[in-house]
Structure 1
Amino acid sequence: MKLTETVRKMVIDSDIGTRAVAAKVDKKHHVLLNELNFENTSHKLGAELLAPLMKACGSDSPMHLLAAEMGGLFIKIPEESCSNASLVKAVKEFGELIAVYGEAIERGELKDEGKQLIRKEGQEAMTAIQELLCGLDVNDSLKPHN
C-alpha cells in the first residue's frame, strides 16, 4: 500500500470522522479529501501535514508503512504513565501476532499480503511489550503493598 492510500484509510477510518480530522488540521473538508485522493493530480498531500493528521486520528499507521519500506520497524515510545493494562495489551497483541502467523502456516503459503499483516501485528505486539517494560519503572501499583 502506498503512503497516500495509508493516510487516506487512516483519516476515513478515524473514530472522529473526516470532518473533525479536517478541522483539527485546519483544512477544509473537501480540500483534505482531494489531497488524499491519489487520482487527483491537482491536489497533493504535503509531508508537513502527516504528523498533525496522525495526531488527529490517533494513529501511527503511516509510520509503520514508512519504517517497513525502509527495512525498519517503528516502535512508539510510550508515555511515562503506563497502566497495568499494558500487560494485558501485550499478551493480546502477541496472541494476535501468533494467530495471524499460524493461519498463514496452516495455508502453507505466505504471500505479500500475509507478510504485511504479520509485520503489522508484530509491530503492534512489540509496541505493547515496550509499553509494558516502560510501565515497570513508573508504575508503583505493581509493587507489593505492606
Structure 2
Amino acid sequence: MPDSIMDVLREMVRASGKPAKALARELGKPYTTFMRELSQADTGAKLGVELLLPLMRACDSILPLRFLASRMDCRVVSLRNVTPDKPTLHEELLDSYEALTQYHRAMRDRQPPENVAALRETVIRQVQEDFVAYIQEATE
C-alpha cells in the first residue's frame, strides 16, 4: 500500500490507461501544471483537494477513496455492480432478513471468525441489493 495520498494519485494516473495530457485536458488544467502537481520532486506545486473527485472520475478509479477510508479504519463499498436478484423489493428484504438471522446465529453459536466474516459479507451484499431495489422502485 502506498504511504501517501500523492503516491496513490500518481499510481491512479499511471493505471488509468489514459495519457496524462488527456487527463489534464479533461480536468481543464495545463499539462505542465498537472505534471508539476503530481511530481514528487516539485514541492512548490500542490494538487488541490477540489481536483480529487474530478481526477478520480477521469481515471475511473476509487483508489484514493479506499486509501483514505483505510486510514480512518473504514472501508468503501461500491454499488456499481449490485443488481437485485429478486423480482420485488419485498423479496429482497426477506433475503436480507434470512442472511442477518444466519449471521447472528453464527455469532451466538460461537462459530469461527472466518465463518462469521463470510456471513457478514453476505449480509452486506444483501443490504446493498435491498437499497438498489428500493431506489429502482422509488424511481419507477
| TM-score, with structure 2 as normaliser | 0.56
1:119 corresponds to: none
Letter in 1 for 2:30: K
How many Å separate the matches in 1 of 2:72 and 2:17? 29
Structure 1 gaps, min length 5: 85-124, 140-146
Letter in 2 for 1:28: P
Which of the pair has more CA radius of gyration? 2
Matches within 5 A, 1:106-117: none
Q: In the comparison of the two structures, how many residue pairs are matched? A: 98
How many Å separate the matches in 1 of 2:11 and 2:36? 13
- Offset from partner CA, 1:104-139 (integer Å, 9 cap, x none): xxxxxxxxxxxxxxxxxxxxx99xx47655555577
Identity among equivalent pairs (%): 27
Alignment equivalent of 1:14, drawn from 7, 13, 16? 16
Q: Confirm or deny that 1:35 pairs with 2:30.
A: no
- Offset from partner CA, 1:8-38 (integer Å, 9 cap, x none): 1111221222111111111111211110112
On the 8 A contact 1:82/1:138 being kept in 2, the answer is no
1:70 corresponds to: 72
Query: Which secondary structure does the structure 2 equivalent of 1:42 belong to?
Result: coil
How many Å separate the matches in 2 of 1:24 and 1:10? 15
Q: Confirm or deny that 1:45 pairs with 2:47.
A: yes
Bigger Cα displacement from structure 2, 33-42 vs 64-73 = 33-42
Letter in 2 for 1:31: T
With over 3 angstroms needed to count, the CA separation of the structure-2 counterparts of 1:131 and 1:17, relative to structure 1, is: farther
Structure 2 gaps, min length 5: 85-120
- Greater relative contact order, per chain length (Cα 8 Å cut-off, separation 6+): 1
Query: Which secondary structure does the structure 1 equivalent of 2:55 belong to?
Result: helix
CA RMSD, Structure 1 to Structure 2 (Å) = 3.1
